[in-house]
Structure 1
Amino acid sequence: MPQETEGSIVNDYQQNNVTYLCMNVVGNKFGFSIIQVCSNNVVALKQDINFNAAFLKENVINYLNNLILNYRPSILLLSTKIRQDIYDEIERLLQQQKGKLNELKVRFLSWSKFDKKFLEQELKDSNNSFACMDENKNCKLLNKMMLVFNSGWDITCGTLSCVLQTIINDEKLVDQGQQKLEINNLTFNLMQFSDSFVLDDDTINSLQVLPSLYKTKVYNSNKRGCLSLYELFEKSVKSELGKQVLKSWLTTPLKTKDLIVKRLQIVKILVATENTSVLDQLSWSLKKIPDIYRLLSSVSSRICNKPHVWIALVKFCETMIEIKKIINLLDSAYRQGVLKDLHLAIEEHKFKKIMSKINKVFNLENSLKEKELIINTGVNKELDKHINFYNNLEVFLEDIAVHIRTGIINDINCAAKLDPTVQNNIKNLINVAYIPQIGYLISIDIEAKELLEIVQDWVFIFETPTALYYKNNDIMKVDKEYGDICGIISDYQIEIFHDVQTEIIQYKLFLRKCYELSAELEILKSFAETSIENNFKEPELSSKENKLIIVQGRHPIFENLVDSYIPNDISLIGSRFDDESWNTMFCRIALITGANMSGKTVFITSCGIIVLLSHIGCFVPAISAKIGIVDNILTRIKTSEGINHTQSTFYSDCQQMSKCLALSTERSLVLIDEFGKGTSPIDGPALFAAIIRQMSEYKHCPRMLVCTHYHELYKKKIFSPQLKGTIHLTTTIFVKKHKDGNEDNSTEVITFLYKVKEGISNDSFGLFCASLSGIQPAILNRAHAIVDAMNQGRNISEISNTVPLQELTLFKKNQKIVEEFLSWDIQLEDDNDIAIKEKLKFFLQKDIS
């Protein structure tokens, strides 16, 4: 059982942005909450998730992986009572993530800290800092949730309670200057997975949703540099929040039609020909938006005197006003969805007030040149007076120095004569200096040390290798009258900074809302630009019909890697979702056969990507697409391999298949590629056939696209073209017989057409694929002989026992050498070793025909 740990919060807080992720599993229920200290942002489930007990571990890891990818937490909080098998999987996941993202530190906390009673008590306690949360509308929502969801929110509420306790304890350990959580200004974002579904790691990898760290030669030679869906859109998403939200949309697609249609409607508006100018202007403006989260974090700090922060804040305000003017160019009928929300959110007078305040107080143009924040003249008369004094400080100090030198010269005239050199250079040897925090000082060159015998009532302060520093009564009067001028100026500046920061922070929620809506618009703008550039079309979605009809569908990544791409169609019409007798007249399973390298995997993944893109609100790479809303996309395409995977390939494939079958519903899409390999030629096909047969008779069968090379299942009549609920597709090829000079000898030359049509293939043409990969001709010839024998029903052992003529000739030659060697009586030979060796060499090298 893990033990409670504290962690090194001081080091954690020294990173600019600390993000806590707290999760817990109790029984089959899962809950989590996230707090981003930098932005005072809270993300939590709206209601605990109840998982299937058989796949609890896999689901928890799937959700955790998604949260790590999207929110990049720096600290993961777990209960000491977490199940050991779940923790083992978490540890394995973190090991896989190592090096890909920032290091995630795991801290174990007592299970008692996951009790929601702490949060309930803090919200009620009028003497606690949490009480002021009630004034915040977001925290009123939290209070309401505590009452409404009650038992349905226990675990998530417990994680929120735990993470808040942890932050309160941690912040006691850090320096006062570090960024801290503003508990009275928290913003709550509630995640409701009832409107979306989470892609698992297998699907993310199989559909190339997120980029891989390993960049291949293909990547470097590809002008577009795009090997993932994220990269396809990310090139026109510039804001940090936009990139984060894009990743979240791709890995958690929507499954509610109304929400999807709202996004599609915005993309449709932006791709319209009459709105081309608006799209171009939006693209130019949106990419100029700075990260308001970071700016507000800086403004919220104790002192914000960095010019670039205030310049960026003014730029943000100007850009937002600019965006509102661009949206105004649209016809009022087009101003809907996020366009309408952003248009209403951008209150121009507030942005102008923010800019006016900043420009009135700060001289941003000179600040940029001087690389320090300069306050305008006239903001504070006292500050101006002290700055003016500081600017003329050199003259003031010289006047005091002249007065002191005059007094010393008079004393010298009354005293014994000093070294003439000292008397002549007294102007250079005695000066008055100002040092911040120490004040005004008399500086005497170390060479004029004998002058100290003349002066009286001077107080020694300190010395350096070149000078001695003193104060006298005159200097002390100056200290008293003028004070520490730098300190005074700094105090006035800090007061002004604080006043401006306090006023700007009042607009924090307003600025965040505009930024978040602009990030959403930026992603939809990216969808529109990508759709125009790649000729994507609007999909037609249905919440009632179990169908997948794609005309001229393409793979959006692969089509940019080849010179020409052959689009394909598919038509799966599976009746209504609630039709339990669907397999009598309709089909939900597509069995795809065909030659190796003929495009089967690209075909099913292109279909999966088209479905995924339609569910994030993007147009799709097809002439048309009619898609029944899916609640999950599950895949068994790529085998999970790596040093952390100790299972066999077949066992890993079976795990993936088991998950697909257990988690799929009649609304799901399941993609399967060559399941059954890696075991015996009997077990693999038998298991595959049993799965397809059962799913074809299952009343809640999902839509399934399945590739296979098990042609024997058709030959042995286990599968037939009349298999219920199934359509049969094949990839087309052109086969040409090529004669090798001999009438009896010919080889097959295959041209891949990459076109999918109805039908069943009876050959995988694996040997042709092997020849293309460079396998030696002798091996291929032997393989062809074995295949021909099997197809003719001949005994394979006869083929295996047949010895080639070349081998037989060599065998007979070696046999004669051995016979002669055995008949050689070595005892009759001389004792001369050299002679024996020569005769032995003669036997071994003898050419016997």
Structure 2
Amino acid sequence: MNKKDNSFCKKKEETPLIKQYNDIKTKYPDTILLFQVGDFYETFGEDAIKCSKTLNIVLTKRSNIHLAGFPYHSINTYLPKLIQSGFRVAICDQLEEPKKGKNIVKRGVIELITPGIIINENILKNKSNNFLASIHIEKNNLGLSFLDISTGEFFITEDKKDKILQYLKLFNPSEILFQRKEKNFFDQLLKNKYYTFLIEDWMFDYAFAYEKLTSHFKTNSLKGFGIDDLKLGIISSGVILFYLQNTQHFNMKHISSIQKIKKEEHMCIDDFTFRNLEIFHSLNQEGVSLINILDKTITPMGGRLLKNWILFPLINILHIEERQKIVKELYFNKSIRFFIKRKLKDIHDIERMISKMITGKISPHEIYIFNKSLISIIEIKENILSQKSKILIDIGNSFIDCSFISKKIVDTIQKNPPHQIEKGKGNVIMKGFSKKLDNIRLLYFSQKEYLDRLCSKEQLNTGINNLKIGYNNIFGYFFEVKNSKKHKVPSHWIQKQTLTNSSRYITEVLKTYELKILNAEQKMFFLEKKIFNNLIDQILENIKHLQKNAKKIAELDVLCSFSNLALENNYVQPKINQSLKICIIKGRHPVIERQLISKTSYIPNNIILNKSDQQIIIITGPNMSGKSAILRQTAIIILMAHIGSFVPAKYAEIGLIDKIFSRVGASDNISLGESTFMVEMNETASILNNISKRSFIILDEIGRGTSTYDGISIAKSIVEFLQENKFRPLTLFATHYHELNEMSSFFKRIKNYHVSVKKINDNIIFMRKLIIGGSDHSFGIHVAKISGMPMKIIYRAKEILKTLNKKKEL
């Protein structure tokens, strides 16, 4: 808070409420403190000013104190806006019912929410993870951990210090934890692009972290997770667990495992390539990315897993083939594919529901939905096991039987229960589950019948035939007697109120019954809550089995998605082998072909590369002819093959690729003072310094950001380097520099191709077909004409070109 707004903190002006607020706020100085006052969450001082601006709510002032608040029940509307604006939020609730004669209600922070620690479905994206990252640096090495508290997924790795940004761009964490002493380094590195939080240096201690992890997982060591040798990674992971505890997240049973990121088991794709190939985001605002085409998943879990598979493509042929076999089985087995798709629609986000159970935030209605998901999994398992296919039977057997959990829920929870257990409702727990609860309900819900009988009895006893029983919050139950019958009122009745035409009385019998009813309401509420919480505890005893089934459903969802994709778009199963060649016949770009009105209008092309006589293909042709599309589609087909998907081609044989590199398109990085050419050179240098035997490279228009002769020189030099490199990386090189065509005469593994153009009179038609042989025409002026350039400029350009060509001949 600023000094001007702190005046209310002076002791002589503090009310008990403000003093309580100040005491709690002192413990959470870097948060927005949502302070429950009755049916509202209030904010004070600087917090109120921030909330007013962010939430667009009224800012008021009382006794020089700024205030802003919103209704208690509207927290799910306002909390997401605060978190998405980058605020840390501490939720301070009333921990007891207000009592007469007590100055102040007991309050305390029940939860601290930050951008990296969220389980609220109104904030989270269904098909995206929400990672909290922790980074520990020692010299030139680093330990990294990524945790999604909403799903329980926990990853750990170690690498070189210069790889930080690559990991951050892959995982895209919502919050990053790092040591206070590294603040200057991270400020310069991250450029305010990520939400960060400083952790005191002493917490980055190996012994402390190791104990945190073993204590959490209840193990003697970390060898069982295969991470025992990752000292820096263990430190970063321990910091995450400490941070969760420090933010009131004490129950984290759903974080039941930690997984090592095994770089050696996955294809390496840098962030430049993900961007250039438009895998997750299109470079154009209105464009379509690859994930938009590939993602046919139905469940949120499947959508998140698909992204994970794309981020980390397999380079283990057996594992790739396992996925392909299932895709093929679902491709041909129409009935089982349709059945699975139908049942997947009834399966909700089990992973995130489990995290809500752990934190006590799941409602009875959500448990009912959770059970519908369990039933669908049971039905999928049974149907798959009834098939004759060994592949499908193996999938069915991989599911763990959790039918007993479903039975517990069915026996305990009523059908379609409300979203919360409410006093006086008693409509969550099944009738017959608890005899004690049934008896309390009987007492509570038979009030009318009992009171009717009591009223009739007193009418006979007193002779007051128009006697009535009423209720209000002041007196509770009472007898109401018309003044004309007042003389018949028994002497033991106690008069409480006199009205114009009647009087109200209470009796010992009424008060005793009223107390029974009030006790019944309380008992019913607490008993239903206790039974519901016991049910949650029983479900969570099987947390690992439920998480495993959720993962299996996610896998089945992705593979079923691949089979649907293949059917709808005429994809073929690629052959993956240990060879060092690529053979793609009639390959197509999966995104571009979907944007065309007719799929048949997309012109397919062949790409054949090997280490012996066609290692590098130089592709020439004018702009808009399709050079870049051919480069991109080849890289995308290779990527799709390595995640187990079928591919857009007539035939595809792909030798295992461990790295895909791309340098496509131009983009200035003005904020860093880098020109197009500098960005181009940086990205190209990164490629050339990290080549492997199984690398695949696409390079587009290298050298165009500088003068012609410089550009040609750089382009030629790069092609020579790739040709002579001991690893001989398979490469597609698109260029405007026709001078590069002559290289095929001197290097046997370089071949020239061009994208054909048909010239009719003074017009050109792009044939978009890749043909052997180089092109010596750029057709730049023709492309300018097509683009709508004024004809005066076109005519003048032709005159200048003729002049230049004559000078060149001389």
Q: TM-score, normalised by structure 1?
A: 0.73
2:191 paired residue number: 91
CA distance in 2 between partners of 1:446 and 1:161 (Å): 75
Matches within 5 A, 1:775-786: 775-786=789-800
Cα 1:181–1:588 change in 2 (3 A) is: farther
> What is the DSSP-based 3-state SS (H/G/I as helix, E as strand, rest coil) of the residue aligned with 2:704?
coil
Task: Give the deviation of 1:391 after TM superposition.
Answer: 1.5
CA distance in 1 between partners of 2:603 and 2:638 (Å): 19
Task: Give the deviation of 1:615 after TM superposition.
Answer: 0.9
Confirm or deny: 8 A CA contact 1:48 1:153 kept in the other structure.
Answer: yes
CA distance in 2 between partners of 1:213 and 1:291 (Å): 31
1:758 and 2:772 correspond: yes
Match of 2:334 among 276, 279, 289: 276
1:159 and 2:236 correspond: yes
1:189 paired residue number: 259
CA distance in 2 between partners of 1:184 and 1:516 (Å): 13
- Give the structure with higher Rg (CA): 1
Cα 1:531–1:401 change in 2 (3 A) is: same
CA distance in 2 between partners of 1:556 and 1:360 (Å): 49
Cα 1:720–1:586 change in 2 (3 A) is: closer
CA distance in 1 between partners of 2:584 and 2:498 (Å): 86
Which structure is higher in RCO with an 8 Å CA cutoff and minimum separation 6? 1
> What is the DSSP-based 3-state SS (H/G/I as helix, E as strand, rest coil) of the residue aligned with 1:364?
coil
- Percent of aligned positions that are identical: 24
Equivalent residue letter for 1:555: H
2:107 paired residue number: none
**What do the CA deviations read for 1:564-622 (whole angstroms, capped 9, x no partner)?**
01111121111xxxxxxxxxx53321111112221111111111111111111111111
Task: Give the deviation of 1:281 after TM superposition.
Answer: 1.9
Match of 1:356 among 407, 411, 417: 407
2:352 paired residue number: 294
Cα 1:369–1:191 change in 2 (3 A) is: closer
2:635 paired residue number: 608
> What is the DSSP-based 3-state SS (H/G/I as helix, E as strand, rest coil) of the residue aligned with 2:191?
helix
Task: Give the deviation of 1:158 after TM superposition.
Answer: 0.4
Matches within 5 A, 1:53-92: 56-57=161-162, 59-68=163-172, 73-82=173-182, 84-91=184-191
Task: Give the deviation of 1:627 after TM superposition.
Answer: 1.6
CA distance in 2 between partners of 1:772 and 1:663 (Å): 40
Task: Give the deviation of 1:84 after TM superposition.
Answer: 3.9
**What do the CA deviations read for 1:310-346 (whole angstroms, capped 9, x no partner)?**
33222122211221233224334334xxx62x41233
1:385 and 2:420 correspond: no
Cα 1:519–1:405 change in 2 (3 A) is: same
Match of 2:382 among 306, 325, 328: 325
Equivalent residue letter for 1:314: N
1:233 paired residue number: 294
1:257 and 2:317 correspond: yes
Equivalent residue letter for 1:239: T
Matches within 5 A, 1:452-601: 473-478=508-513, 484-543=519-578, 545-562=579-596, 563=598, 564-574=601-611, 585-601=612-628
Cα 1:634–1:467 change in 2 (3 A) is: farther
Equivalent residue letter for 1:711: H
2:277 paired residue number: 207
Confirm or deny: 8 A CA contact 2:340 2:380 kept in the other structure.
Answer: yes
2:137 paired residue number: 25
Equivalent residue letter for 2:347: I
2:196 paired residue number: 106
In terms of mean alpha carbon deviation, does 238-247 or 19-28 score higher?
A: 19-28
**What do the CA deviations read for 1:40-93 (whole angstroms, capped 9, x no partner)?**
x24122x522x3xxxx54x3112111112xxxx443212223374554332354
Match of 1:659 among 677, 686, 692: 686
**What do the CA deviations read for 1:681-721 (whole angstroms, capped 9, x no partner)?**
2222111111112221111232111111112455xx6x343
Cα 1:9–1:169 change in 2 (3 A) is: farther
Confirm or deny: 8 A CA contact 2:327 2:560 kept in the other structure.
Answer: yes
Task: Give the deviation of 1:645 after TM superposition.
Answer: 4.8
Cα 1:590–1:529 change in 2 (3 A) is: same
Task: Give the deviation of 1:251 after TM superposition.
Answer: 2.2
Task: Give the deviation of 1:468 after TM superposition.
Answer: 11
Q: Which runs of 5+ in 1 are unaligned?
A: 95-104, 125-129, 172-178, 220-226, 411-423, 575-584, 739-747, 797-849
CA distance in 2 between partners of 1:321 and 1:471 (Å): 58
**What do the CA deviations read for 1:183-228 (whole angstroms, capped 9, x no partner)?**
5963333332221134333212222211449653xx6xxxxxxx22
**What do the CA deviations read for 1:349-389 (whole angstroms, capped 9, x no partner)?**
x31x2232222223305769999843232222222122112
Equivalent residue letter for 1:28: N
> What is the DSSP-based 3-state SS (H/G/I as helix, E as strand, rest coil) of the residue aligned with 2:279?
coil
Q: Which runs of 5+ in 2 are unaligned?
A: 1-27, 32-87, 92-111, 121-129
CA distance in 2 between partners of 1:479 and 1:283 (Å): 55
> What is the DSSP-based 3-state SS (H/G/I as helix, E as strand, rest coil) of the residue aligned with 1:16?
coil
Cα 1:506–1:183 change in 2 (3 A) is: closer
Cα 1:381–1:704 change in 2 (3 A) is: same
Which structure shows the bigger proportion of residues in helix conformation? 1
Match of 2:695 among 638, 644, 668: 668
> What is the DSSP-based 3-state SS (H/G/I as helix, E as strand, rest coil) of the residue aligned with 1:651?
helix
1:142 and 2:180 correspond: no
- The alignment covers a number of residue pairs equal to 686
Task: Give the deviation of 1:393 after TM superposition.
Answer: 1.0
CA distance in 1 between partners of 2:475 and 2:113 (Å): 36
Equivalent residue letter for 2:624: M
Task: Give the deviation of 1:305 after TM superposition.
Answer: 4.8
> What is the DSSP-based 3-state SS (H/G/I as helix, E as strand, rest coil) of the residue aligned with 1:182?
coil
CA distance in 1 between partners of 2:320 and 2:482 (Å): 81
Confirm or deny: 8 A CA contact 1:20 1:34 kept in the other structure.
Answer: yes
CA distance in 1 between partners of 2:622 and 2:560 (Å): 40
> What is the DSSP-based 3-state SS (H/G/I as helix, E as strand, rest coil) of the residue aligned with 1:546?
coil
Task: Give the deviation of 1:673 after TM superposition.
Answer: 0.7
Confirm or deny: 8 A CA contact 1:239 1:519 kept in the other structure.
Answer: yes
Equivalent residue letter for 2:154: V
2:803 paired residue number: 789
Confirm or deny: 8 A CA contact 1:22 1:163 kept in the other structure.
Answer: yes
1:374 paired residue number: 428
CA distance in 1 between partners of 2:346 and 2:238 (Å): 38
Q: TM-score, normalised by structure 2?
A: 0.76
Task: Give the deviation of 1:242 after TM superposition.
Answer: 0.7
Equivalent residue letter for 1:20: L
Confirm or deny: 8 A CA contact 1:696 1:724 kept in the other structure.
Answer: no
Confirm or deny: 8 A CA contact 2:712 2:737 kept in the other structure.
Answer: yes
CA distance in 1 between partners of 2:660 and 2:454 (Å): 83
Equivalent residue letter for 1:230: I
1:708 and 2:745 correspond: no
> What is the DSSP-based 3-state SS (H/G/I as helix, E as strand, rest coil) of the residue aligned with 1:677?
coil
> What is the DSSP-based 3-state SS (H/G/I as helix, E as strand, rest coil) of the residue aligned with 1:733?
strand
1:311 and 2:377 correspond: no
Confirm or deny: 8 A CA contact 2:267 2:657 kept in the other structure.
Answer: no
Cα 1:477–1:735 change in 2 (3 A) is: closer
2:396 paired residue number: 343
CA distance in 1 between partners of 2:482 and 2:668 (Å): 76
CA distance in 2 between partners of 1:270 and 1:668 (Å): 32
1:16 paired residue number: 119
CA distance in 1 between partners of 2:326 and 2:570 (Å): 17
Confirm or deny: 8 A CA contact 1:61 1:93 kept in the other structure.
Answer: no
